Amino acid sequence: MSAWKFLVEKPCKLLLAVESENNAYVHVLSREIDSTYAYTLNLVQELEKLGFLNSEKIGRKKYVKLTEKGINITNKLKEFLNELEEREIPKEIDLKLKKYDEALERLSTEIKGKTLSKKQKAIVARLLGRYRALIKGTKIRSKHSNVKKAELLKRIGKMESKIRV
């Protein structure tokens, strides 16, 4: 396996899975990387040739561990992936959070200064609950987005307390 072939999805996922599973066997790893047992076994053999993995057969199970070289490569791979995610994902997440912010602003201006009936309060509370769930479910990877997420959740809390009064 050449270095370029190594830098594709499944071999990278395999190294990361071996690191997280620590002394896992091939069958578990194949499920973890969403691949067949035969293909995973082939990848393990190729990565062993490159010196990234060691495997040991105990009974019918083949256990896999990272070598020192494998640990170093996996750490560098995680750094690389984190760097990519920090550059790409915040844009996507910032757009999503901005959309939620705009929706909350519209809702806030719509109900501001109005006396709401019980039914209207229930509708607004349901909307705020949905936005809270959506915002909480948003996976954040940057500090800026995390701060924005916290601000939006705090804003929802304030709006909820206003409609309860």
The model's pLDDT over 99-154, given as tens digits with 9 standing for 90+, comes to 999 999 998 888 888 888 889 889 999 999 999 998 888 877 666 777 888 899 99
- Give the ranges where the chain is alpha helix by DSSP (H): 3-6, 9-21, 26-32, 37-49, 68-111, 118-137, 143-164
Angle, CA of 92, 97 and 98, to the nearest 5°: 95
The domains of the chain are located at 3-66, 88-164
Distance CA 100, CA 131 (A): 7
Closest CA to 42 of 21, 68, 62, 20: 62
Q: How many CB atoms sit inside 10 A of residue 13's CB?
A: 17
Closest CA to 47 of 70, 30, 68: 70
Q: What is the pTM of this model?
A: 0.52
Q: Which residues pair with 61 in a beta bridge?
A: 58
Residues 14-23 have pLDDT tens digits of 888 888 876 7
pLDDT at 6: 63
* Fold of the CATH domain 3-66: Arc Repressor Mutant, subunit A (1.10.10)
CATH architecture of 88-164: Up-down Bundle (1.20)
Q: What is the mean pLDDT of the chain?
A: 84
